[in-house]
Structure 1
């Protein structure tokens, strides 16, 4: 798979100024992007396990026997309303959730299941008896347990329907068990209701008999009390006594008032304070027989004088005679009024006597009323007790009648809504469910394994991960190219393939140019050399060095690419140069000159110094020769850039003897593969040998883990530009180097 370079979303200065201290941690060690990337890289694991699960599920499905289901439906009523509001004693109400749950549990009870076993004679079947005799208790218990496992009782949501679903291999049998289970529940509840009603009626009858006997005793006790105390008309006597008592009280009050008035008048007469006219206005004086007679005569004589005065004068004998008679009557009245004290005193004494008699009568009447009240208290106690017994007795009789009536009119608490039909198609095993579940289980297991692999992965997985673990500037990012150019293949050499990639993918070419700008600014002096290293093989350092060299050459800079991997040299073969030709080994041994070992690659300005023939001790060869003179000779020969491909650091120590051969040292790290501790160990070796490491290039970083700057590269170069290509190059300064070999 070809690769492309994606630079950091930073300016070169920013990358070079990154501190070597610990970088900020970006995100958790495990996130969705890493998991998705792991799935992309290891997709064969869930696919293989899903296929394996599908095979197991299908095998399990083929071994299963067909199963059938039959469902009977029972319906229960809510709180029942009977005629005239009469509720049955044994009525069952299912108006709340607890009552409904109780009904569901009752449908699964041993009594209901036992009735099903008995009615269908299931103990005579070997699958239900469990090998026990059909008439034994063990056979029935085993059959009840089997029926219970086959039966599923459930309430339909938002309805009053109960489903009795029975599963089994025999369609006729499951239909019979389902129907019988519903019928058995109805029968069991009806029997419970009848037993409850019967017990209630018996209890009410016994209570009625007891209350009847008690009422009889209460009536006898009340009758004896009336006869003993002559209280037959106690209420009438009581009313009469109370009425008379009120009259006596009112008369006594009037008499007391009259006596007080007389005493007041008597006292006034004794003191002589009352005139004649006021005395005559007193009822006691005015109503006296003598005084009232004289007053009548005076009135008549006064009228006669009035008549005579009209006929005669005052000196007339008749008038004078009448006047003398009138004066005589006035004199008699004055005489009688003179004895007014005696009259008032006599009237006061008579009033006191009358008041005393009335007080005695009132006391006697009060005593009689108290006696009647005492009799009434006991009488009322007996009367209330008798009335209470009578009311309770009548209530019990009424309840007994209500139970008899409601027993006939009350609807059953539950009834069969629909009996089960014999199923014609099996419901199990469900091929889609079994195979789908096993396949999904295998896929989920594969995903879990990938998740564990991602969690246990200690490699560099992202840009932030590299900054955190390596603590070095990341100078470039290389990602996978999902599609190679159509003309690429093994028939082309490495230079041509690299050039084709740079032509076809404008964003890749721009990324290499930016990487070139970063490392160029980081180099010392005008003449620059670059050494590309890696911790272990297969990191992609040859790929990075090749593309970097092509990028330098495309800028018009004469570039020399040196293969210092003397153990596993590949550049000569990749560039289509014969391995038997001269190379670095011959140059180090003094057997050839630089002009003899430099080969033209076919790309303008790009030349290759291959490794040469194989030697037994490459490290000793590099250590004994003055390899640092290679840079001086190459720069003196007219090369502007030198790109050195080296051996891996961990397996061999060939690269460690090079010292400061190059101005820039780049370490290529393959993402999602090489553990960070291996890379850190390689960096430690470079530090110990005095080779300064300039930065890191991340290789094969997935698109989900790379920086967002790739989006801008990808969107800036439109498809038309990528398809047409734009291979504008700088003028080539290669003079005598446009031939196959350097002369």
Structure 2
């Protein structure tokens, strides 16, 4: 299986690597295919850990004693039962949340626990009084260490029983309702039901007993106060009677005395007399005005109008007046008849005045009588008021005495009524809660929950198995799939090369760390395994040819006119560590490019090993280092191929010089590479390992593209990352990574 990826050039490789790592972690979360392959590789480890956890949990559960939990359900009814109209002595529980929660505390109190324990005899024998295995073991250990403690006293034993009872009891309120659940756990289903029901009964009996005791105590207290209240009521009533006799106060009902009635009557008579006097005075004044106005004015006086004498005189006066007027008109004012008529008129007018005067005198007498009556009544009322003022303080004191007597009487009546009601309540009180559902012996144990715990053990085992698998995956050496390169390192993967045995790949040539290779015609073999390797090399050349376009060449290595360009491309093939097969890959890539019709030069620059020089039997031939040291033309030392069409430039005899590494620092190396560019379409450089010497790192500046060969499953990620960090500080362009010596069968599990 061969994977190929085309390289993408970046200006800053370190930035690309960091971004690739972060994007790789995000992609790994949703990469379901990668997760499936991970499970396929590690399923046996995950399943084994999960099975171990389930078996362990099953063994532990079989040793744990079973526990049964019975539940009794109570409902608290905050409504007060109105059997009688009177109020109860001890109020109800209440309907607020705090009151209901308080009942939970009462049910969990040690008082009820003691009653239930004593009622069922739980303190004499049973699981509450027995010593647990852990306590026995601890006691035995203390005995061996000489730290034995004396046997617990009876009080300590009772306290221990109550503590264990409380640990097995659970009381809770069901939501926001008035329903309470009493749950008790025991090793016996019957015991659990008995305890839950007994606690519910003890709670109801405790409520009823408290109310009865409260009613009984209240009745006794009220009875003791009645004699004192009776004596106080008698004393206050006697004091009121004595005070009235001493001060001559006579009650007429409705809190009114005899003096008060006399004052009221005198006030009423005085008011009537004043009204009559005012009326008489007004009539007298009118009569005086009438008298002063003459006969004509008396016509407006009411008494004159009602008098028959005055009426007759006025009629005569009117007739005489009419006759006088006629005479004057007929006879004239000086006629004797007129004078006689005038005398008659004057006589009648005098009679009228006399009669009106008499009536006015009568009105005057009446007004004076009314005024005298008013003065008499006023004096009498003033005298009564003086008497009332003299008795005012006595009446105030009497009111105080009467209020005290009335209050004593009311209190006595209330106490008498309350005492009778309280006595009756002793037989009418009841609990304000009732058992909604009694506890029944449970059919299945409540603990341990075997099914749930086994599921938890299975889930935990799966989690632990996944963790163990992830740890095993993380500790697995080397890079094994494209995701580890692309997402883990953020570097393109150019392709993978299958593992080929050295005997098949180098049937007569040299070896390169187990993935050997030779030049010449033996690069193309006949075996099926070798054919797969050659096909992988040819496929690997495609992404590398794509990078040649950046140098003015298409993927065939030719320019737009169909002839080779004037300046060739340089490809550096290197590795992080020795023995990863970089020399073999470089040699086979050069052969693949040459097979495409390109003029290829293969240069051995591995000062540490020089495998290509040895495999091509050029160890004693001068090479590139000799040209650099002697400042000669490197083209003079090129070995031109006859069968594989590869030109080869060995490293040279100067490799054995201890100062040969200094030649890589010389500008002559750059000039030599530039000179070779003009002679060849492609120069393939086989450099030293990046982490084993400075020579391989210096070559990065002279390569247009670099292919990093990594041995599949062997080279650690840290070494690869260290090698990639060198590219971030060098101007060379990293084409990508080539995974070499891949196990095809194992690779299928990684995708």
Query: How far apart, in 2, do the equivalents of 1:430 and 1:541 lie?
Result: 61
Q: Which residue number in structure 1 is paired with residue 448 of structure 2? A: 429
SS in 1 for 2:5: strand
- The Cα shift of 1:148 comes to 0.8
Q: Report the equivalent of 1:155.
A: 173
In the TM superposition, what whole-angstrom CA distance separates every residue of 1:411-470 from its partner, at most 9, and x where no partner exists?
A: 52223333433344333333444344455446656778969999xx9x998979978xxx
The alpha-carbon distance between structure 1 residues 27 and 356, as it changes in their structure 2 partners (threshold 3 A), is: farther
Matched position secondary structure for 2:717: coil
Cα distance per residue 1:95-124 (max 9 Å; x no partner): 221112111111111111111221122222
State whether structure 2 residue 723 is matched by structure 1 residue 679: yes
Paired with 2:497 and 2:395, the residues of 1 have a C-alpha distance of 118
Pick closer, same or farther for the CA change 1:33–1:216 going to 2, 3 Å. farther
Describe the shift of the 1:400–1:509 C-alpha distance in structure 2 as closer, same or farther (beyond 3 A). Answer: farther
1:694 to 733, 736, 749: 733
Q: How far did residue 181 of structure 1 move? A: 2.5
Residue 245 (str. 1) matches residue 286 (str. 2)? no
Cα deviation, residue 150, structure 1: 1.4
What is the CA deviation profile of residues 234-281 of structure 1, one whole-angstrom value per residue up to 9, with x for unaligned ones?
546445642442232132233144236535755x58xx8321354576
Residue 431 (structure 2) pairs with residue 412 (structure 1): yes
Q: 1:128 is paired with a residue of what secondary structure?
A: coil
Q: CA deviation at 1:147?
A: 0.7
Deviations 1:14-54 (A, max 9, x none): x45x3689789859969654667898879969777656655
Deviation track 1:27-85 (CA, whole Å, cap 9, x = no partner) reads 99696546678988799697776566556544533442333322233332233342466
Over aligned residues, Cα RMSD in angstroms?
Answer: 6.0
Distance 1:413 1:479 in 2: 84
Q: Please list the CA deviations of residues 346-381 of structure 1 after superposition, one character each: whole Å capped at 9, or x if unmatched.
A: 666545433322322343454466678766655554
Superposition pairs for residues 100-119 of structure 1, below 5 Å? Answer: 100-119=100-119
Partners of 1:201 and 1:70 in 2: CA distance: 41
- Once the two structures are superposed, the pairs formed by residues 3-82 of structure 1 within 5 Å of their partners are 3-5=3-5, 7-8=7-8, 15=9, 18=11, 32-33=26-27, 53-54=53-54, 56-82=56-82
The reply on whether 1:529 has 2:570 as its aligned counterpart is: yes
Residues 84 and 181 of structure 1, relative CA distance in 2, 3 Å threshold: closer
2:445 match: secondary structure: coil
Question: Which residue of structure 2 lines up, in the alignment, with residue 141 of structure 1?
Answer: 159
Distance in 1 between residues matched to 2:315 and 2:615, nearest whole Å: 193
Structure 1 pair 369–33 and aligned structure 2 pair: CA distance change class (3 A) = farther
For 1:649, the equivalent position in structure 2 comes to 690
User: Structure 1 residues 515 and 656, CA, compared in 2 at 3 Å: closer, same or farther?
Assistant: closer
CA shift for structure 1 position 698: 5.7
TM-score normalized with structure 1 length: 0.64
In the alignment, the residues of structure 1 paired with residue 591 and residue 214 of structure 2 have an alpha-carbon distance, to the nearest angstrom, of 102
Name the CA shift for 1:633/1:110 in 2 (closer, same or farther; >3 Å): same
Mark the CA change 1:462 to 1:363 in structure 2 (over 3 Å): closer, same or farther. farther
Return the alpha-carbon distance in structure 1 between the equivalents of residues 187 and 407 of structure 2.
67
Matches within 5 A, 1:248-327: 248-259=270-281, 262=284, 266=288, 268=289, 273-279=292-298, 282=301
Q: Compute the TM-score of the two structures, normalised by the length of structure 2.
A: 0.64
Distance 1:259 1:526, change over 3 A: same
Task: Tell me the residue number matched to 1:499.
Answer: 535
Alpha-carbon separation, structure 2, partners of 1:497 and 1:85:
107
Structure 2 counterpart SS, 1:140: helix
Given that residues 86 and 406 in structure 1 are in contact (C-alpha distance below 8 angstroms), is that contact kept between their aligned partners in structure 2?
no
Query: Partner of 1:530: helix, strand, or coil?
Result: strand
Residues 1:582 and 2:626 are matched in the alignment:
no
**Could you tell me whether the CA contact under 8 Å between 2:169 and 2:184 is conserved in 1?**
yes
Aligned position for 1:185: 203
The Cα of 1:149 is off from its aligned counterpart by 0.9
In structure 1, distance between residues paired with 2:267 and 2:241? 29
Equivalents in 2 of 1:93, 1:340: separation in Å? 92
Counterpart CA distance in 2 for 1:479 and 1:81 is: 90
Partner of residue 486, structure 1: none
Q: Distance in 2 between matches of 1:5 and 1:617?
A: 39
SS where residue 123 of structure 2 aligns? helix
Look up the match of 1:230: 249
Between the aligned partners of 2:424 and 2:542, the Cα distance in structure 1 is 100
CA distance in 1 between partners of 2:284 and 2:27 (Å): 126
Instruction: Give the direction of change, closer, same or farther, for the CA distance of 1:595–1:21 in structure 2 (3 Å limit).
Output: closer
Q: 1:241 to 1:622 in 2, by over 3 A?
A: closer
C-alpha distance in 1, partners of 2:578/2:458? 38
Q: Is the 8 A contact 2:605 2:651 kept in 1?
A: no
Q: For this pair of structures, how many residues does the alignment match?
A: 630
Alpha-carbon distance change, 347 to 394 in structure 1, aligned in 2, over 3 angstroms? closer
Q: How far apart are the structure 2 equivalents of 1:402 and 1:396?
A: 10
Q: Distance in 2 between matches of 1:115 and 1:597?
A: 109
Aligned to 2:627: none
Question: Hey, what's the Cα distance between the residues in 1 that align with 2:408 and 2:602?
Answer: 125
SS at match of 1:75: strand
- Secondary structure, counterpart of 2:69 in structure 1: strand
Report the 3-state secondary structure (helix = DSSP H, G, I; strand = E; otherwise coil) of the residue aligned with 1:88. coil
Distance 2:614 2:16 in 1: 48
Aligned mates of 1:27, 1:358 — CA distance in 2: 125
2:92 aligns with 92
**Is the CA contact 1:128–1:146 (under 8 Å) kept in the aligned structure 2?**
yes
Partner of 2:237: 219
1:542–1:70 CA distance, 2 compared to 1 (3 A): farther
Write the distance in 1 (CA, Å) between the matches of 2:591 and 2:268: 141
CA-to-partner distance for each residue in 1:152-184, whole Å, 9 max, x for gaps? Answer: 222233544322222233444333333323223
Looking at structure 2, the residues matched to 142 and 55 of structure 1 have their Cα atoms a distance apart, in angstroms, of: 36
Partner of 1:176: 194
Distance 2:472 2:262 in 1: 109
Partner SS for 2:281: helix
Distance 1:544 1:217 in 2: 131
Deviation at 1:652, TM superposition (A): 3.8
Q: Is the 8 A contact 2:219 2:422 kept in 1?
A: yes
